[in-house]
């Protein structure tokens, strides 16, 4: 019976003009995208295609799904078609689950259709890219340095960035351990260096660097001269033999010319393994996006069990928005806390025990914290950053998103059932 309601809901949704317009608009946006001029970077168009898909097209579809799922039940109640269903031998729980399943199926249909267009577009554009820019089509596993140090002379430190002068007076070193233990089957590794470059030679585009990669146990290594471009990371291949079990991989970098400087931090050099292709990573990103759809549609359906159609739509959109700005809400509550803690921030008139400050904690900060705790956290479903950086989405991230959705959806479903069970149909 759940299946019957689900298919009925899907069929009803697919016949709605709202959805046709949204799908058409989504496809139109993706078709027009390659024609829009971008920056000179060769992979800029591919990145833009991905960004627009995950942030604009997906948002359009989510809006459509919210509109449909938030209004389905209120319209059934308003049109009294709910009488026809509830006079049949089907429980109200099954009606709700059926509706949710129907909208989940609708989300799958939307995501499959639009992501296929997106994939074709991405592959078509990426196939024309030079080899060094095809990193976006990879699904690499990221390793950050277990240890970072400066050997020799540190020229100066500014805003947390250590600056080294050229000529070998100072050398930055990043050490990576346990890479091979984690990914023994990895066919290859690469290093991505994203350093800040400056030069006393005036305005220059490139700085020659010496990069040395050494296996600490065997002493085997390779030195390369790299002409690094300002504001552009560079990638170096690492021989798989160089990365061995229980050994440490050291990467050292310094500018060759004495007139040049590099600014470095712990996170500026990373090692990536390339275990999987873009397609599997893209599938994971779409799955995470589907979970996002699922969560918001369950929230919308939950609201619709009690609220009228317009109120249900507005509340679903508000929750969706708030779920994306939890950081801002939390920051706001911290602002109040800091205001409370730092006496200098409090005007003199308020320095004496003040009822406003005393109760601000209870009136604003604590409620905000509770709201952040209750609101759905949609930031968990951001898979775009992985795709843009060509980083493999860890299974832990997928699992955590899945688990979060299941728990949150379960609670919403429980509330929906309680509300609908108590509801009367006049």
Partner 1 sequence: MDSYAIRTEGLTKVYKDFWRRKSTSALTNLNLTIERGEIFGLLGPNGSGKTTTVKLLLGLLFPTSGKSWVLGYPSGNLTVKRKLGFLPEESYLYKFLNAEEILDFYAKLFDIQKKERKRRIDALIHEVRLDHVRKRPLSQYSKGMLRRIGLAQAIINDPELVILDEPTSGLDPIGSREMKDLILEFKRQKKTVVLCSHLLADVQDICDRIAIFNKGVLQVTGTVKELLSQNDAIEFVVKNLSDNDIQAVKAFVESRNGNVLSVDHPSSTLEDLFISIIQRR
Q: Which residues bind partner 1 (CB under 8 A)?
A: 1, 4, 8, 12, 15, 79-81, 83-91, 424-426
Residue 97: CB minimum distance to partner 1, A: 14
Collapsing DSSP to helix, strand or coil, 150 comes out as: strand
CA dist., res. 89 & res. 354, Å (int) = 62
CB 426, min distance to partner 1, A: 7
Nearer CB in complex with partner 1: 20/80? 80
Q: Shortest distance, CB of residue 425 to partner 1, whole angstroms?
A: 4
Taking the complex as a whole, the smallest distance from the CB of residue 86 to partner 1 amounts, in Å, to: 6
Structure-token pair, residue 282: 């893209």
The answer to whether the beta carbons of residues 385 and 271 sit under 8 Å apart is no
Strand order of the sheet with strand 138-144? 138-144, 269-277, 189-193, 234-238
Closer CB to partner 1, 83 or 328, in the complex = 83
C-beta of residue 252 within 8 angstroms of C-beta of residue 171: yes
When the beta carbons of 306 and 404 are compared against partner 1, the nearer one is 306
Buried b (16+ CB within 10 A) or exposed e, 201-230: eeeeeebebbbebbbeeeeebeeeebebee
Specify the residue, 103 or 320, whose C-beta has the smaller distance to partner 1: 103
In this complex, which beta carbon is closest to partner 1, that of residue 106 or of residue 165? 106
DSSP 196: E
d(CA 218, CA 275): 24
Q: How far apart are CA 142 and CA 389, in angstroms?
A: 10
- To 10 degrees, what angle do helices 44-52 and 92-126 make? 170
Please say which residue, 80 or 366, places its beta carbon nearer to partner 1.
Answer: 80
- CB nearer to partner 1: give 237 or 423: 423
Are 420 and 96 contacting, i.e. CB atoms less than 8 angstroms apart? yes
Q: What are phi and psi of 278, to 5 degrees?
A: -65, -35
- Shortest CB 93 distance to partner 1, Å: 11
Least spacing, CB of residue 22 vs partner 1, in Å = 18
CB of 423 to partner 1, least distance (A): 10
């Amino acid at each position: 019976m759940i299946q019957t309601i689900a298919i009925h809901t899907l069929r009803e949704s697919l016949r709605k003009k709202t959805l046709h317009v949204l799908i058409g608009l989504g496809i139109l946006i993706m078709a027009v995208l390659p024609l829009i001029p971008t920056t000179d970077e060769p992979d800029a168009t591919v990145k833009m295609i991905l960004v627009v898909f995950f942030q604009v097209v997906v948002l359009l579809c989510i809006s459509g799904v919210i509109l449909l799922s938030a209004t389905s039940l209120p319209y059934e109640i308003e049109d009294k078609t709910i009488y026809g269903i509830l006079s049949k031998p089907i429980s109200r729980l099954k009606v709700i689950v059926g509706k949710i399943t129907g909208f989940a199926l609708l989300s799958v249909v939307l995501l499959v259709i639009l992501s296929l267009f997106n994939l074709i577009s991405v592959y078509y554009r990426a196939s024309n890219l030079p080899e060094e820019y095809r990193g976006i089509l990879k699904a690499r596993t990221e390793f950050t340095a277990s240890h970072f140090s400066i050997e020799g002379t540190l020229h100066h430190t500014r805003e947390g960035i250590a600056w080294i002068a050229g000529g070998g007076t100072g050398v930055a070193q990043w050490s990576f351990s346990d890479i091979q233990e984690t990914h023994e089957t990895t066919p290859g590794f690469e290093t991505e260096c994203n350093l800040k470059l400056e030069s006393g030679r005036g305005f220059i585009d490139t700085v020659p660097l010496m990069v040395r990669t050494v296996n600490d146990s065997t002493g085997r290594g390779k030195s390369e001269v790299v002409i690094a471009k300002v504001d552009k990371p560079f990638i170096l291949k690492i021989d798989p033999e160089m990365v061995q079990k229980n050994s440490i991989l050291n990467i050292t970098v310094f500018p060759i010319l004495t007139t040049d400087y590099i600014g470095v931090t712990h996170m500026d050099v990373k090692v990536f393994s390339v275990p999987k292709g873009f397609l599997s990573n893209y599938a994971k990103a779409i799955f995470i996006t589907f979970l996002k759809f699922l969560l918001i549609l369950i929230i919308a359906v939950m609201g619709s069990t009690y609220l009228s159609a317009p109120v249900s739509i507005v509340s679903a959109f508000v929750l969706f928005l708030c779920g994306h700005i939890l950081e801002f809400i939390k920051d706001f509550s911290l602002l109040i806390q800091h205001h409370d803690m730092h006496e200098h921030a409090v005007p003199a008139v308020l320095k004496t025990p003040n009822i406003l400050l005393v109760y601000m904690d209870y009136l604003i900060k604590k409620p905000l914290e509770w709201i952040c705790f209750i609101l759905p956290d949609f930031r968990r479903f951001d898979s775009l950053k992985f795709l843009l950086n060509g980083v493999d989405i860890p299974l832990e991230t997928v699992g955590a998103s899945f688990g979060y959705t299941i728990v949150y959806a379960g609670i919403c479903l429980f509330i929906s059932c309680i509300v609908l069970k108590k509801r009367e149909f006049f």
